Amino acid sequence: MPSSNDKTADRRQFLVNGARVAGALGLVGGVGYLAGNAQGREELVWQLDPDKCIACGNCATKCVLDISAVKCVNCFHACGYCNGCTGYFEKVEGGTSQGASTSAENQLCPTGAIERKFIEKRSTSLYFEYTIIEPLCIGCGKCVEGCAKMNGSMYLQVMHNRCLNCNECSIAVACPTQAFRRIPASTPNMMKKIGIHALKAIDKLPPEIYELPEEEEA
């Protein structure tokens, strides 16, 4: 694998626009600041704590919408850009997807919602970017479960341009780990700790990311 300095140089295209991760989330334009309620308090929205999520599949089936408001996102700065991404490929014989064909039968995502783009070749290693095509994602979490075997850069989030913000979220009720929570509309997104640490290290953490108070982290 390349050194950390090499990886930083290789990923320069992802930092040109400031916080590429925020763009990948696809959430900023969909929510902004919501109006306060009658008491003047800030509106709260539903969001999924990715560090509690176990990719159980309920997000795809329990939402009141026909197609879930929960989608997968990929924190590019935490991604390994692996040739044999376990979030993209079905597990193949021998436990690795290295060199597998990208045909539909080898893809883990049932709807083909992950775009695989070649980035570069260094020595004998190939590197690829994996981008979630949001309209195709159904929130099943299969890629999240697979990615957790490696870097864990893929995770699920509620998309506020789709979410109805129900008083009682049906997915939250069904969530086996109680990963859903109400958070301020001004910071409507939650990122995995691995991503937060990576972006804080380069001072690129988007302002709309909600961070759990220390007493709630466990």
What is the pLDDT at residue 185? Answer: 97
Flag whether pLDDT at 176 surpasses 60. yes
Q: What is the chain's mean pLDDT, rounded?
A: 84
Q: For residue range 7-39, list pLDDT tens digits in order.
A: 444 443 433 333 344 444 444 444 444 444 445
Q: Counting Cβ atoms within 10 Å, is residue 109 exposed (0-12), middle (13-18) or buried (19+)?
A: buried
Domain tally for the chain?
1
| DSSP three-state, residue 141 | coil
Please state the pTM of the whole predicted model: 0.79
Q: How far is CA 43 from the centre of its chain?
A: 23
DSSP symbol at 167: S
What is the pLDDT at residue 127? Answer: 96
What is the pLDDT at residue 7? Answer: 44
Q: What is the mean pLDDT of residues 78-88?
A: 94
Q: How confident is the model at residue 148 (pLDDT cuts 50, 70, 90)?
A: very high
**Token pair of 128, please?**
């690829």
Phi, then psi, of 204 in degrees rounded to 5: -125, 20
- Using CA atoms, how far apart are residues 66 and 202, in angstroms rounded to an integer? 39
Q: What is the mean pLDDT of residues 73-99?
A: 82
Q: What is the mean pLDDT of residues 48-56?
A: 97
- Using CA atoms, how far apart are residues 24 and 120, in angstroms rounded to an integer? 20
Q: What is the mean pLDDT of residues 202-211?
A: 94
| pLDDT > 90 fraction of the chain, expressed in percent and rounded | 69
What is the pLDDT at residue 94? Answer: 55
Domain range for 194 is 4-216
What is the pLDDT at residue 97? Answer: 55
| DSSP three-state, residue 107 | strand
What is the pLDDT at residue 215? Answer: 66
Q: For residue range 152-165, list pLDDT tens digits in order.
A: 999 999 999 999 99
Phi, then psi, of 171 in degrees rounded to 5: -75, -40
3-state secondary structure labels for all residues of 29-90: HHHCCCCCCCCCCCCEEEEECCCCCCCCCHHHHCCCCCCCCEEEEECHHHCCCCCCCCCCEC
Q: For residue range 115-139, list pLDDT tens digits in order.
A: 999 999 999 899 999 999 999 999 9
